[in-house]
Amino acid sequence: MSVLQDAKVPVTILTGFLGAGKTTLLNRILHERHGERIAVIENEFGEIGIDNELLVHDGSEQIVEMNNGCICCTVRGDLVRILGQLRERRARDPEAFSRVIIETTGLADPAPVAQTFFIDEDIAAAYRLDAVVTVVDARHAAQQLDESHEAQEQVGFADRILLSKLDLVDTAEQRRLRERLARMNPRAPVREVHFGAAPIGELLDIGGFSLDAILEIEPGFLGEDAHEHDDSVQSFVFRSGAPFDADRLQAFLRETIASHARDLMRYKGVVAFAGVDHRIVFQGVHMVMSADAGRPWAEGELRESKLVFIGRGLPQREFREALERSLLQESPAAPVQ
Amino acid sequence: MTSAAASSLLGKPLPCLDAAEDIRFDAPWEAKVFSIIVKLSQQGCFTWAEWVDCFSKEVAAADAVEAAGGQPKTYYEQWLAAAETLLVAKGMTSPEQLLAKRFAIGSVGPAHLIAS
If contacts are CB pairs under 8 Å, which of residues 68-97 in chain B contact chain A? 94, 96-97
pLDDT of residue A93: 87
Q: Where are the domains of chain B?
A: 3-112
pLDDT tens for residues A142-187? Answer: 999 998 888 899 999 999 999 999 989 999 999 999 999 999 999 9
Rounded to whole angstroms, the Cα distance separating B87 from B98 reads: 10
If contacts are CB pairs under 8 Å, which of residues 194-213 in chain A contact chain B? 211
> Which DSSP category does A197 fall into?
B
Q: How many angstroms separate the CA of residue B94 from the nearest CA in chain A?
A: 8
Rounded to whole angstroms, the Cα distance separating A79 from A127 reads: 12
* Cβ contacts of A254 on chain B, cutoff 8 Å: 106-108
The answer, as to whether pTM is greater than 0.90, is no
A16: left (phi over 0), alpha (psi -120 to 50) or beta: left
* Cβ contacts of B107 on chain A, cutoff 8 Å: 250, 253-254, 257, 282, 289
Q: How many angstroms separate the CA of residue A21 from the nearest CA in chain B?
A: 32
pLDDT of residue A89: 87
How does DSSP assign A275-310, residue by residue? T--EEEEEEEETTEEEEEEEEEPPTT----EEEEEE
Which residue, among A125, A94, A132, has the nearest Cα to A11 in the 3D structure?
A132
What's the mean pLDDT in B74-98?
95
pLDDT of residue A137: 93
Residue A14 has pLDDT above 70, yes or no: yes
ipTM of this complex: 0.79
In single-letter form, the type of residue at position B82 comes to A
pLDDT of residue A141: 92
Report the share of chain A in percent with pLDDT over 90.
41
pLDDT of residue A106: 65
Find the range with the poorest average confidence among A28-42, A130-144, A254-268: A28-42
Would you call B22 an interface residue with chain A, using a CB distance cutoff of 8 Å? no
Element (H, E) at A175: helix A171-184
* Cβ contacts of B28 on chain A, cutoff 8 Å: none
* Cβ contacts of B104 on chain A, cutoff 8 Å: 282, 289-291
Specify which of A185-194, A218-227, B82-91 reaches the highest per-range mean pLDDT.
Answer: B82-91
Which residue, among A263, A265, A269, A264, has the nearest Cα to A283 in the 3D structure?
A269
pLDDT range class, residue A48, cuts 50, 70, 90: very low
Would you call A277 an interface residue with chain B, using a CB distance cutoff of 8 Å? yes
* Cβ contacts of B106 on chain A, cutoff 8 Å: 250, 254
Report the share of chain A in percent with pLDDT over 70.
80
pLDDT of residue B10: 55
As to burial, measured by CB atoms within 10 angstroms (0-12 exposed, 13-18 middle, 19+ buried), residue B47 is exposed
pLDDT of residue B114: 82
Which residue, among A265, A279, A246, has the nearest Cα to A309 in the 3D structure?
A265
Q: How many angstroms separate the CA of residue A56 from the nearest CA in chain B?
A: 31
pLDDT tens for residues A213-227? Answer: 778 776 655 544 445
Rounded to whole angstroms, the Cα distance separating A326 from B7 reads: 44
pLDDT of residue A4: 44
Would you call B106 an interface residue with chain A, using a CB distance cutoff of 8 Å? yes
pLDDT range class, residue A71, cuts 50, 70, 90: very low
Which residue from A minimizes the CA distance to B112?
A: A288
pLDDT of residue B14: 52
Element (H, E) at A142: helix A141-147
Chains A & B: contacts with CB separation below 8 Å: 71
* B96:A211 CB<8 A: no
CB-closest option in A249, A278, A289 to B114: A289
> Which DSSP category does A189 fall into?
-
Q: How many angstroms separate the CA of residue B24 from the nearest CA in chain A?
A: 26
* A289:B112 CB<8 A: yes
Across chain A, what does the average pLDDT equal?
Answer: 81
Which residue, among A208, A192, A179, has the nearest Cα to A136 in the 3D structure?
A192
Would you call A290 an interface residue with chain B, using a CB distance cutoff of 8 Å? yes
Residue A19 has pLDDT above 50, yes or no: yes
CB-closest option in A250, A287, A293 to B94: A293
pLDDT tens for residues B29-72? Answer: 899 999 999 999 999 999 999 999 999 999 999 999 999 999 99
pLDDT of residue A3: 42
pLDDT of residue B4: 47
pLDDT of residue A229: 62
pLDDT tens for residues A74-110? Answer: 677 778 888 898 899 889 988 888 888 888 876 667 8
pLDDT of residue B90: 96
* B111:A68 CB<8 A: yes
Extended beta strands in chain A, E state: 9-16, 38-42, 47-50, 53-57, 63-65, 74-76, 99-103, 127-137, 160-164, 190-192, 233-240, 264-271, 278-285, 288-296, 305-312
* A288:B97 CB<8 A: no
